[in-house]
Amino acid sequence: MIKKNNQIIAGIDVGTTKIVVLIGEISVNQVINIIGIGQYPSKGIDKGNINNLQSLISCIKKAIYEAETMAEYRISSIYVSLSNEYLKCKNEIGIVPIDNKEITHQDIKYAIYTAQSIKLGHDYKILHVIPQEYIIDKEYGIKNPIGLSGCRMKAKVHLITYKHIFKKNLVKAIQSCNIQVEKVVFSGIASSQAVLTFSEKQSGVCMIDIGGGSINIVIYFNGYIQYSHVLPYAGNTVTNDIAYVFNTSFQNAEIIKKKYGSTILTSLTASELIEISNLYDINTKTIQNDILIQVINSRYTELFTMINEMIIKIQNQLYHSSQSYILGSGIVLTGGGAQAKSLKILAKKIFNTQVRIGIPLKIKTYNDKIIQPNYATVIGLLKYGSKIYNHHKKQFHKTTILKKLFCYVQNWVKKII
Confidence of residue 1 (pLDDT cuts 50, 70, 90): low
Q: Whole-angstrom Cα distance, residue 22 to residue 370?
A: 10
3-state secondary structure of 335: coil
Mean pLDDT score across all residues of the chain: 88
Query: Per-residue pLDDT for 180 more than 50?
Result: yes
Tens digits of per-residue pLDDT, 337-355? 999 999 999 999 999 999 9
Q: What pLDDT does 404 receive?
A: 52
Tens digits of per-residue pLDDT, 202-261? 999 999 999 998 999 999 999 999 999 999 999 999 999 999 998 888 999 999 999 888
- Just give the CATH number of 88-163: 3.30.1490.110
**How would you class 398 by CB atoms within 10 Å of its CB: exposed for 0-12, middle for 13-18, buried for 19 or more?**
exposed
Q: What pLDDT does 189 receive?
A: 97
Tens digits of per-residue pLDDT, 151-172? 899 999 999 999 889 899 999 9
CATH of 235-298, one of 3.40.50.720, 3.40.50.1820, 3.90.640.10, 3.90.1150.10: 3.90.640.10
What is the mean pLDDT of the segment spanning 273-299? Answer: 84
Query: Per-residue pLDDT for 262 more than 80?
Result: yes
Q: What pLDDT does 223 receive?
A: 92
Please name the residues in contact with 95: beta carbons below 8 A apart, sequence gap of 6 or more.
111, 114, 152, 153, 154, 155
Q: For the ranges 4-8, 72-76, 207-211, 411-415, which has the lowest average pLDDT? A: 411-415
**How would you class 73 by CB atoms within 10 Å of its CB: exposed for 0-12, middle for 13-18, buried for 19 or more?**
middle
Domain segments of the chain: what residues? 88-163, 235-298
What is the mean pLDDT of the segment spanning 185-194? Answer: 96
Q: What pLDDT does 397 receive?
A: 44
